[in-house]
Amino acid sequence: MDFFNINEPIITLIILFFNIALCEYLVRKTFLKHVGTALLVILITAIEANLFLIPSASNPSAVYNAIFKYVAPISIFYLLLEVNFASIKKAGIPIVLMFFIGSLGTVLGVFIAGTLINGVENIGEKFPMIAGMFTGTYTGGSINFNAVALHYEMNNEANLYTGAVAIDNIITAIWMIATIALPKFLQSWLPRAKQLENNKEVLTEKDLNDTEPLNPMNTSILIALGLVALMFSDWLAKISSIPSILILTTISLVLAQFKFIQELDGSRVLGIIGIYLFLAVIGAYCELAALPKIGEVATYLLLFAFVLVVVHGLVTFTLGYLFKIDWDIVSIASQANVGGSGSAIALARSLDRNDLLLPSILIGTLGNAIGTYLGFIMVNFF
């Protein structure tokens, strides 16, 4: 083995894992926390690929195919093992109601935005997949975004995929600012009584920082479960017309309701590492020579995402007003849709609503559960 041969699978894996560790450090310790690990790992790996420090799309590594075929779908399986439907009731009716209203707003937003920009004509034949990805991510987060992308092999459209991720991050950041400001403005204009949730549970390090204990037994069980579930879903997909990733999603959600599965620590860490590996490979597939092509549709992508979120916001806050829901709850539910549980927790802290920290996590997991299904529905619609 040539020690410095970047095409050696071991060397490629070392670089990918180093990139993930570096990005996690930068996000936790520097101003780059506002960029986020997901986007940062794509950007850093893309730079390396274009400097020929790691295999690119022109000369892909066998490692990349393995990550696309096995690691990425199993990672989604692991992350969905945290969705415990029985615990959703702890979130409280108002915030769950607003979450579902926000999901409706997202679906309407995708329909209106896609029609307004004439997506298939201006973005191209991949627009239905883009619509499904944004439906998923603005229902509950990036797990759904990646699940739809994987099934439709958007990894083969790495520059378009990366452009979509970047625009998603931009819009999510803008919406975070909006959801911080709107409750204060609306409270002064249209006052609402605070609806306090009596949550006595304390958030753990796992909830706040994606940290959990690992041990050989639990980790081995989780790895075996993931492999069996992937094998079964691929087999069932071949004898039916159901996408493998939807079958895998459903298996994970069913297993997640069993106490034995809920007590297996490690699924979040395994899932997050796998997703970051997938995103790193997406970065490696981004080639500068192809960027002008995405440049032509970037404006339409940005307009699509912007209109989508504006419609989502109008539906969510209008119905929140009609149902006389606490503005803080409306904002946090909306942020759980657009940014997932992580940004919903951050918003609850910003609004000084510690009583809504746990509900933020719970509705975030609910978004993970339903987002992929809604995403596939919108792909087929377009």
The CATH number of whichever domain residue 266 belongs to comes to 1.20.1530
The pair of structure tokens assigned to 213 is: 């204990």
Q: At 234, is the pLDDT very low, low, confident or very high (cuts 50, 70, 90)?
A: very high
Q: Among the residues of 117-215, which ranges form H helices? A: 119-122, 127-140, 142-151, 158-189, 205-209
Contacts of 31 (CB under 8 A, 6+ apart): none
Is residue 143 included in any domain, yes or no? yes
Is residue 235 included in any domain, yes or no? yes
Backbone φ, ψ for residue 368 (5° rounding):
-60, -35
pLDDT at 223 > cutoff 90: yes
Higher pLDDT pick, 200 / 77: 77
The pair of structure tokens assigned to 149 is: 């992308």
Higher pLDDT pick, 193 / 238: 238
Is residue 198 included in any domain, yes or no? no
Q: What is the pTM of this model?
A: 0.84
Each residue's pLDDT tens digit, 43-88:
899 899 888 899 987 778 889 989 989 999 999 999 999 888 888 8
Each residue's pLDDT tens digit, 87-140:
888 888 899 999 999 999 999 999 999 999 998 898 889 999 999 999 999 998
Each residue's pLDDT tens digit, 326-338:
999 999 999 999 9
Distances (CA, A) of 133 to 129, 137, 356, 357, 375: 6, 6, 28, 27, 6
Domain count for the chain: 1
Is residue 349 included in any domain, yes or no? yes
Question: Which residues constitute the domain of residue 259?
Answer: 9-192+215-381
Task: Give the pLDDT confidence score for residue 289 in this predicted structure.
Answer: 62
The secondary structure of 154-168 as a DSSP string is GGGGHHHHHHHHHHH
Q: What is the mean pLDDT of residues 344-362?
A: 85
Q: Return mean pLDDT, the chain.
A: 88
The pair of structure tokens assigned to 197 is: 């949730």
Is residue 197 included in any domain, yes or no? no
Task: Give the pLDDT confidence score for residue 197 in this predicted structure.
Answer: 58
Is residue 205 included in any domain, yes or no? no
Is residue 204 included in any domain, yes or no? no
Q: What share of the chain is helix, strand, coil (3-state, %, to 5)?
A: 80, 0, 20
Each residue's pLDDT tens digit, 82-100:
888 888 888 888 999 999 9
Exposed, middle or buried, 144 (CB in 10 Å: 0-12/13-18/19+)?
buried
Q: Among the residues of 1-126, which ranges form H helices? A: 9-29, 37-50, 62-66, 72-80, 93-116, 119-122
Is residue 206 included in any domain, yes or no? no
* SS3 of residue 63 by DSSP: helix
pLDDT at 1 > cutoff 70: no
Nearest to 284 by CA among 2, 3, 6: 6
pLDDT at 204 > cutoff 80: no
| Beta strands in the chain, from DSSP E residues, in sequence order | none
* SS3 of residue 36 by DSSP: coil
Q: What is the mean pLDDT of residues 217-227?
A: 95
Decide if 335 contacts 175 (C-beta within 8 A). yes
pLDDT at 187 > cutoff 90: no
pLDDT at 199 > cutoff 60: no
